[in-house]
Structure formats: structure tokens, C-alpha cells
Chain A
Amino acid sequence: MEYFKNIFSGISTALVGMKITFSHLFEKNVTLQYPDTYHPINSGDMPANARNRIDVDIEACIGCLACQRDCPVNCIKIETVKAVAGDEPMGKDGKTKKLWVSQFDIDFAKCCFCSLCTEACPTDAIFMTQVFEYATYDRKDLVYHFSDLSAEQVQAKKAALAKATAEKKKAEAEAKAKEEAGKNEA
């Protein structure tokens, strides 16, 4: 008897399962078709504090290197040139800055989206955006250059700084020489 009961339950449970799967066949699909009909940014599903691609407001950056030092994966590379008096970059707050940021590169192939840089920044120049679709075919294309200075401008700034330093040194040397000459006269 157990034998026939088993056969019956085997067939009936298979039919129950088939009924369930068949009912699911016509149910509404749950797939969201990204990016054709659904996009997390357009639909507002992206959280405001989501950690996505970083952006840099180079106008606000003061070149303090706080982000570079905090980066756990060393993906930020910053170089600065000291500004010469009279040719200083203007900050966002209307005050002049002491440094030209000649290079500000972030390698997003390395970036781990930890957001430590954005917390360290004293001027909120480095911040998280909502952008997350920036895949490329070449890893080199993931190195983003944020500095707004061209190579020629950097050369010019460096030359100006070298000139200013040289002039300063010369002036110092002359002043020293004058002082010593004065001493000697005395």
C-alpha cells in the first residue's frame, strides 16, 4: 500500500510543482532593464551618500596634499608649484592661494571608493559624484587629470618661480654683500 501511496504522491507533487511554475510563467517580470528603461540616477534610486566616481573642484583645491596622504591605495597623485607674488591663483572664497596645482591625477583603476579623501579635504574640493558608468576599454583612460593648467602654463609657472627664486637669492646675496660691506666700512 505504501508503494502505491508513494507513486501517487510522486506524481501529484510533481503536478503541484508544475502548477506553481506554470503560474509563475505569466506573472509580472521583476527584471529592471538597465539602462534602457531603468536607470538608478534618473529614477532617484541612487542614495545621496553613494560612493561613486570622485570629482575634484580644482578651483577650490589649495594643494595641501591631505587627500594624497590619506589615500590607502595611493591612487591620487598631486604636484604643486609655489605661486609667485603678483601671479597667484584665485580661490573660490576670493582670497588668493599660495600654490598652483600643476598636477592632480586620480587613477580610478586603483580607487577603492573609501571616501577618506573627501573627508580629509579642508576646502571640500574633492567630493563624490553620482556617476558610476565610466568603464573604458583601456586602463590608461581611467587616469583622470583634474589640473586646469596646460603643460606650457606649468612650464611658465615653474620658470617664473625659478626666476623669482633666483632674483630673491640674488637680492639676498646683494643685501648680504651690502651688509658685509657696511660692516667692513664700519
Chain B
Amino acid sequence: MEQNFVYDLIGENLIGYVIVAAMPLMFVLVYALVAILGELKISAWIQERLGPMRTGWKGVLQPIAEVVKLLQKEDITPANVNKPLFNVAPFIMFTGAYAAYAVIPFSSVFVPSGINIGLFYVFAVSAFAIIGIVMGGWASNNKYSLLGAMRAAAQMISYEIPIAIAILAVATLAGSLDMQEIIKQQAGGIWNWFLFGGTGSIAKVWVIPFTFALFLIYFIGSLAETNRVPFDIPEGESEIVAGYHTEYSGMKFAMFFFAEYSNMFVVSAIITILFLGGWQSPFGDFMNGPVWQSIWFISKAMFFVFVQIWLRWTLPRLRVDQLMYVTWKVMLPVAFVAFFAVAFWAMIK
């Protein structure tokens, strides 16, 4: 298999499978620590504070301290919860978030599973997170948790449809649902990225506003998908305590937290793949080796993680009805129009 350098090295056997399955997990663990530190530091800098400064050099060990703290906390299961559902919910949420890594191509020579419907698969498993949220919220036997879960369900129906149309538009443009194929079609520098209408003659400029709109729609929808500000309505600290994870503590809370952070990377990676050329170098074939590709891919995705953190400290939370307005009345019609325009371009190209 040319899609996976691990199989080339040690053959397609059980050890190879285990290594391939564990590699994204290693990445997620390291990434989560970096993202937590980034969240702490960027929030501090935006507010002109210093952030954590006492754990390690300039506070770089703070995420490790936080993880150790969460591990030490008492694992409380309240008396009147539905125990099986309550206990399994955080792990389902994380499973959904982690399952998406199976098809994310980090480089042209590494994708854990190069299935030809990768985009569809990611869209399917990312809906898992909402099952975990609703399960946890409902099983908690707490009115705030239930409110959070209900809001999450309402939010999910709202954002999934514009996101689906945005993904569909890119699939039309690429003519494929295979992640690697979508990325390969964006080869040849920034101008060929799907954000700028993909490859084609100069006549493609008329389609750029539409692809740009789709990019914005996917990005806004991805904020809603990861329950981050301004769409942290299911958590809504000032309104419903902590929403669906009000009753959770210790390791189970840590799993929710972890799932949220890995989901942030997943949606950022999808944006990168769909609109910013995935692992393609912005300079065409220059600096486009397999290692460079993974560096480009991770730095592009991390940029969007940064934007998500940045937005969190910029915008206030939307009300539920405002979210409904944005998704149903603005994003959905715009996405439809953009989809038709892109589909038309894909047809005549």
C-alpha cells in the first residue's frame, strides 16, 4: 500500500495495524497538552496577563499539572444517575472524536485508513460526539445537564445541514470523497486550493466568492460542532452551570475535555483538507516531501485551532434563537447558492 509508510516498513500485519492505530493517539495526547497550554497562554495574553508562569519554564508544564490534577480527583457517580449510560457517555464522545483520525491524512505517505469515502466517514463519526453529550446529559438526572443535552441536540440539527452542504460542494468540486484524492487535486500552490476554486483557468475567479462562503460556513459550523464560543450553548457556564458535564468529575470529565480538544483538531484538519490543500505545500512542489507535508498539514490545522481559541476570547455566546437564525436562515440559503454555483463550475470546467 503506497498510502502508508508503516506498512511499507514492517508489512501489513497485526503489529503494523497496532502501530498505525496508536500513532494518531500519540499525536492527540501531545496535541491536547499543547492545545491546553495554548488556550491558557493565548487567553492570558489577549487579556494582557501572563498566564501560568510557575510550572516549569514560563509555565510550559501547566497542562501536565492539570492532567495529573484531573487524574487525582475523586470519580463521583451521583446516587440517582443511570449508571451504565452515565459512565459510558464520555468514552463514547471521545471514541467519536478519535474515530475521525482514522481517515485524516497527515502526509501523502501516512493515512491510518485510506478508505475512498473518507469525507463521508468523518461526517458520520463526528455525529457520535452528540450521542455522548445527549447520553451524559440525560443520564445525569440533573436539570442543567438535561437542558445542555437538549440544546446540544437542537444545535446539532442546525449546524449539520449547512456543514453537509459545504462538504458536498467540495466533494462535487473534487469529484471524490477520498481525502487523499481531494488533497491531490489541490496540488500546485496556494492558488489551486479549493478556497480559491481549485485548479483551472483564470475563469475560475467568479467561483472564489462562493468557495470562500463555503469555507466560512464550514468554519462557523465547526465552531458549533466543537461546542466552542460563540456556540458553547450546550455548556453555557453562565446559564446552565456546565451543561451536559455538570455532574462529571475526575477522569470522566477529563474524557469530555479531551474529546472536545481532539474534536477541535479534527474540524481544523477537515477545513485544511477541504479548503487549504491538506498536506500540500503552499509553494507548489517546493518543500513538499513527506515530512514537510506533515509539517504543513499540522501547522495549517493548528492555525485553525489557534483561530478557535482566538475567537473564544473575542465573541460573546449566542442565544439559542440566534444560533437557529444564523444556521437556518443565513448559512443554509448561502450554502445552497454556493453549492449550486460550485456544482455549475465543476460541470463546465
Residues from chain B with a CB closer than 8 A to the CB of A7 are 330, 334
Given A14-B311, A22-B310, A31-B49, output 17 extra A-B contacts at Cβ < 8 Å. Answer: A10-B326, A10-B330, A11-B216, A14-B315, A17-B315, A18-B314, A20-B314, A24-B46, A24-B47, A28-B48, A29-B44, A29-B48, A29-B50, A30-B48, A31-B48, A33-B50, A33-B53
User: Which single member of B45, B310, B311, B326 contacts A29 (CB below 8 Å)?
Assistant: B45
16 A-B pairs within 8 Å (CB atoms) are namely: A11-B216, A14-B314, A14-B315, A17-B315, A18-B310, A20-B314, A21-B310, A24-B45, A24-B48, A25-B45, A25-B310, A27-B48, A29-B48, A30-B48, A30-B49, A33-B53
Residues from chain A with a CB closer than 8 A to the CB of B311 are 14, 18
Residues from chain A with a CB closer than 8 A to the CB of B53 are 33
CB distance from B146 to the nearest CB of A (A): 31
User: Which single member of B44, B216, B313 contacts A21 (CB below 8 Å)?
Assistant: B313
B242 within 8 A of A: no
CB distance from B165 to the nearest CB of A (A): 17
CB distance from B250 to the nearest CB of A (A): 26
Which 9 A-B pairs rank lowest in CB-CB distance, beginning with the nearest? A31-B50, A17-B314, A21-B314, A21-B46, A25-B45, A30-B48, A29-B50, A31-B49, A18-B314
A33 to B52: give the CA distance in the assembly, Å.
Answer: 11
CB distance from B210 to the nearest CB of A (A): 15
Report which B residues bind A (CB closer than 8 A): 42, 44-50, 53, 216, 310-311, 313-315, 326, 330, 334
User: Which single member of B46, B216, B330 contacts A25 (CB below 8 Å)?
Assistant: B46
A28 to B330: give the CA distance in the assembly, Å.
Answer: 39
Main secondary structure of the interface of B (DSSP, over half): helix
Residues from chain B with a CB closer than 8 A to the CB of A31 are 48-50
A18 to B53: give the CA distance in the assembly, Å.
Answer: 26
A180 to B140: give the CA distance in the assembly, Å.
Answer: 95
Residues from chain A with a CB closer than 8 A to the CB of B310 are 18, 21-22, 25
- Encode contact with B along A24-49: 1 for CB under 8 Å, 0 otherwise: 11111111010000000000000000
A18 to B326: give the CA distance in the assembly, Å.
Answer: 19
Residues from chain A with a CB closer than 8 A to the CB of B315 are 14, 17
Question: CB-nearest residue of chain A relative to B325?
Answer: A6
Residues from chain B with a CB closer than 8 A to the CB of A14 are 311, 314-315
Residues from chain A with a CB closer than 8 A to the CB of B45 are 24-26, 29
CB distance from B11 to the nearest CB of A (A): 48
Residues from chain A with a CB closer than 8 A to the CB of B42 are 25
Residues from chain B with a CB closer than 8 A to the CB of A22 are 310
Residues from chain B with a CB closer than 8 A to the CB of A18 are 310-311, 314
Residues from chain B with a CB closer than 8 A to the CB of A28 are 48
Question: CB-nearest residue of chain A relative to B311?
Answer: A18
A148 to B313: give the CA distance in the assembly, Å.
Answer: 58
Interfacial residues of chain A within 81-106, with CB under 8 A of chain B in the complex: none
A24 to B53: give the CA distance in the assembly, Å.
Answer: 19
A111 to B81: give the CA distance in the assembly, Å.
Answer: 46
CB distance from A33 to the nearest CB of B (A): 7
CB distance from B324 to the nearest CB of A (A): 15
CB distance from A179 to the nearest CB of B (A): 80
A96 to B208: give the CA distance in the assembly, Å.
Answer: 97
CB distance from B217 to the nearest CB of A (A): 11
Residues from chain B with a CB closer than 8 A to the CB of A33 are 50, 53
A10 to B46: give the CA distance in the assembly, Å.
Answer: 22
A21 to B314: give the CA distance in the assembly, Å.
Answer: 6
A18 to B42: give the CA distance in the assembly, Å.
Answer: 13
Question: CB-nearest residue of chain B relative to A16?
Answer: B314
A24 to B47: give the CA distance in the assembly, Å.
Answer: 7
Interfacial residues of chain A within 27-74, with CB under 8 A of chain B in the complex: 27-31, 33
